[in-house]
Amino acid sequence: MKSLKILCHEKICLKIKEQLFFGGGTGIGKAITNKLLSHGSEVIICSRSKHEIEGAINEIWDVSDIGSIQENFNNIIKKYGQIDMVVNSQGILTHSDFLDVSPEEMELVFKTNIESVFFICQYAVRYFKNNSIYGHILNICSTEGLKGTCYPYGLSKAAAVRLTQGLGKATVRDGIIVNGIAPGATATDMMRQGDKHNWAPAYGIPSGRMCTANEIANAAVFLLSDAGRQMCGEVMVVDGGESLH
């Protein structure tokens, strides 16, 4: 059986396919990339800068440039052949107070965190259907998208959650499986908690610590494997109990 390609941007039967990964070069995305590589996947990382991850292919691609998505997607298919899975892990987190959020900040966050995800999903679903591929799409959301919020990041992730749910329902009859993961506080550079042990203080988390990127990667492998094929439109929460009420 050939190894399967996964397209992953800045993700049991584990003969995982060739994957296109958006945001797969740092943080949670990097952990998913390494986990998929360890299971024999071919991973193409698409990101704005070069990331040297042994075994992965790195293509420079700024997904916030929405108008270039279709051309770049098609070029990668032509260059590398069949893609079986797409992982959207791209994201921008800003820290402006509500009263200080500018239209430019809002536009950049939404272009990166939801518009790019929407159109990458659109092109991926069209590609899978036209080529009779039983593909997977995995969107990395956030527990911030499950809460009331007035900040660009949380609002964009709320849209990503709803997109994942709706698309999962719409595509499962075609054999295209769409799911998501909503990580809670995770010890990555984005959270400025990149200590060498990847642990951090609890901040009210029942488990007593933040998640590690590797724990999110384990969930990603499950959802991208054949073990997750009966799950559709699910957004798996991995947060140490933080969102429990």
Assign domain 4-238 to its CATH superfamily. NAD(P)-binding Rossmann-like Domain (3.40.50.720)
pLDDT tens-digit readout, 46-99: 888 777 788 888 888 888 899 999 999 999 999 999 999 999 999 888 889 999
For the whole model, what pTM was predicted? 0.87
% of the chain surpassing 70 pLDDT: 83
Would you say the C-alpha torsion 160, 153, 123, 4 has a positive or negative sign?
A: negative
Q: CB 53: neighbour CB atoms within 10 A?
A: 18
Lowest mean pLDDT: which of 2-11, 95-104, 116-125, 197-206?
Answer: 2-11
- Residue in this structure with the two tokens 């402006």, named with its chain if needed: 96
Say what the pLDDT of residue 3 is.
45
Average pLDDT over residues 203-222: 88
pLDDT of residue 2 exceeding 90, the answer is no
pLDDT of residue 186: 83
Distance, CA of 78 to CA of 98 (rounded, Å) = 44
- Token couple for 209: 């610590």
pLDDT, position 202? 60
Q: What is the pLDDT of residue 245?
A: 66
**Strand ranges for the chain from DSSP E:** 4-9, 17-22, 42-47, 57-60, 85-88, 136-140, 177-183, 235-238
Q: Which of 26-35, 47-56, 111-120 has the lowest mean pLDDT?
A: 47-56
Q: Which two tokens stand for residue 241?
A: 């109990």
Structure confidence by residue, pLDDT tens digits, 131-160: 999 999 999 999 999 999 999 999 999 999
- Structure tokens, 112: 């990166």
Work out the average pLDDT over 198-207: 66
Domain spans, the chain? 4-238
**∠ CA(156), CA(157), CA(161), 5° rounding?**
125
210 pLDDT band, cuts 50/70/90, is: confident
CB 130 within 8 Å of CB 226: no
Q: How many CB atoms lie within 10 A of CB 81?
A: 11
**What's the rounded Cα separation, in Å, for the pair 40 and 18?**
9
Measured CA to CA in angstroms, residue 27 lies from 139, 188, 211 at distances of 15, 5, 12
